[in-house]
Chain A
Amino acid sequence: MKKKTKIDLNTIKKQKALLIWGGLLTIYGFIFYYLPLTGWLMAFQNYKPKDGILHSQFVGLAKFVRLFSDVTFLKVIRNTLAMGVINLVVTFITAIAFAILLNEVRSNFGKRTVQTISYLPHFLSWIIVTGILHDALSGTGIVNDILMKLGIVDQGINFFAHTQYFWPIVAFANVWKETGWNAIIYLAAITSIDPALYEAASIDGAGRWAKILHVTLPGIKPTIIILLLMNVGNVLNAGFEIQYLLGNGLVQSVSQTIDIYVLKWGISQGDYSIGTAAGIFKSLVSIILIVLANQIAKRSGEERLF
């Protein structure tokens, strides 16, 4: 099966259609995915739009030095990492827990209904989700309503005016939106567990809880690890839409992420060099994270991505 395909005129003629289409799509890919990489040069320049990349003055790492001496940027890194990690951990745990518990629902109708409903928030845009959050958390919203009726607070809390609520709100929004969707893959993994294992556990007198711990969880462990690896590299990517839409002047110190910083400096202030430098930093950290996660998985003898 592994024999090397010879490249000769005959093969090329035979594969003409593949070559033409493949070539066209490669040109497309080159323009839209690889050409922007040349823009990274801007981070090492004092980029002026009128000079372009070819004629702007090179300044070495000066832009990076300025970036890391900016206190705001250091805070921005902290925010991005903190929210990325919190979201990753929280959405992972809830999705796995939800999948396992849903699998334990005995009635097929109930299971299907809950599952269908659980997908719904995934299909809503962040615009809609943040709008809903604003309503629910407003002074007259349902959350303050419940808190006041339970006597926990006397007056409605303005959740969007205090920094300590911002990260939990973002985490909750992510959980609300994606739990059902993320659970799909775990449910699929659970269905592929050999039923004989459950029978054997039953004979041993294991209750449902014990079966979850000793059969279901070990059964989906490879899936959990693969997904964790795939998501670790995305930790820094998880911070734009919701923070941009929910953030306001009062919570800026905890809501700004790298992407928002790039947008603010690059597009609004027109400093392309500093914005690009911040973007490169993000890409590098992401790649390092993926490779690290992969190495750790490899060393502990688990599945890995590449």
Chain B
Amino acid sequence: MANGNNNINLKNPPLSGSDNNNKNRAAAAKRRKVSAGDKAFTICNTIFMILFVVITLYPVLNTLAISFNDGTDALRGGIYLIPRKFTLKNYITVMQKDNLITGAYITVLRTLIGTLLALVTNAILAYIVSRKEFIFRRALSLFWVITMYVNGGLIPTFLLYKNLHLTNTFWVYVIPGTISAFNMLVIRTYMNGISESLTEAAQIDGAGYTTIFLKVISPLCKPVYATIALFVAVYQWNSWFDAMLYNRMSDQYTTLQYELMKLLSSVTNQGTSAEAMKNAMGTVTPTSVRAAATIITMLPIICIYPFLQNYFVTGLTLGGVKE
């Protein structure tokens, strides 16, 4: 700001008449120049934004086109945004693959249960550490914040799950990692912003902690709950590593993303003969089937996220604000 003031002083020295005219003309010229510069800026910026949108959307639209295109025909290349030889066979093949159906079922289940569990536990914990009068408030906060920076690592965690008999079960997807300190802190920050007079009024009416949580705080926290639900749901939907690591031997607990990964490696390894023969309909290839599976996997998310924009923007902004 100091800089700005200096500039103003420099520009407005006491002037004689003719000087003033000159200055005015110079200022007008400068304005014109500035606006020309601004115009160039606008044009460049618009081009940049269009390029950005194209680079973001093209791969997705291209996958969509390939998913509707005849598999063998697609191998020739040259398919951009519109299918050349339209077919639904890729999707039909996907629907007939038992492991993909199982994967989809498990993925939906883990997303629903995992999101619900995470929401309830994180909300309760956030409520507890946001009560200013709670005797262990600081200790409990610290206990969870530490988990953000220190963890046992892959192998000790793997052994723990094995000892708890969580491996080769569905529960390994939803029970560990339910509480995340980050999500909890986001909810807590939001709860801290709720006026204390509301809880005090409820307390005078004789409401206990549980009632206040359910009837006073939670209804006001709907936006932040939606944010966290979205974060967790996306995480659950996109997970594959836990399926590979903990449930490799249990095909009945496979997930959609893990099946998609297997499809991808079958394409990249070109060890496709077995796969291709299985689909001896002749017109589908691993690549085209994978495209169809990819579209099916991303569809639910693409349909939902635009409507939740305001929620996750709020959530992220809250997360970035430290206490």
Which residues of A pack against B, CB within 8 Å?
5, 7, 11-12, 15, 17-19, 21-22, 25-26, 28-29, 31-40, 42, 98, 101-102, 104-106, 110, 113-121, 123-128, 130-132, 134-136, 139-142, 145, 160, 176, 180, 184-185, 188, 197, 200-201, 203-205, 207-209, 214, 223, 226-227, 233, 241, 245, 248, 259, 262-263, 266-267, 272, 275-276, 279-280, 282-283, 286-287, 290, 305
Contact = CB atoms under 8 A, between A and B. Distances in A.
9 contacts: A5-B133, A36-B151, A36-B153, A128-B260, A128-B297, A142-B80, A188-B316, A207-B37, A245-B261
B261 A287 contact: no
Nearest to A1: B132
Given A123-B234, A223-B320, A135 B59 contact: yes
B2 to A, nearest CB: 11
Contact of B49 (A105, A119, A132, A226): A105
Contact of B4 (A25, A201, A290): A201
B317 A185 contact: yes
A226 B78 CA distance: 46
B59 A25 contact: no
B296 to A, nearest CB: 11
Interface residues of B, number: 97
B136 A128 contact: no
Contacts of A200: 1, 4
A199 B294 CA distance: 48
Contact of A127 (B152, B240, B268): B240
Interface of B: 1, 3-4, 7-8, 11, 27, 30-31, 34, 37-38, 41-42, 45-46, 48-49, 52-53, 55-60, 62-63, 66, 75-78, 80, 121, 124-125, 128, 131, 133-136, 140, 143-144, 147, 149-160, 164, 176-179, 208-210, 234, 237-241, 245, 257, 260-261, 264, 267-268, 287, 290-291, 294, 297-298, 301-302, 305-306, 309, 312-313, 316-317, 320, 322
B135 A7 contact: yes
A117 B264 contact: no
A9 B305 CA distance: 49
Contacts of A141: 77
Contact of B59 (A32, A136, A207, A275): A136
Given A131-B260, A132-B63, A134-B264, A33 B147 contact: yes
B171 to A, nearest CB: 12
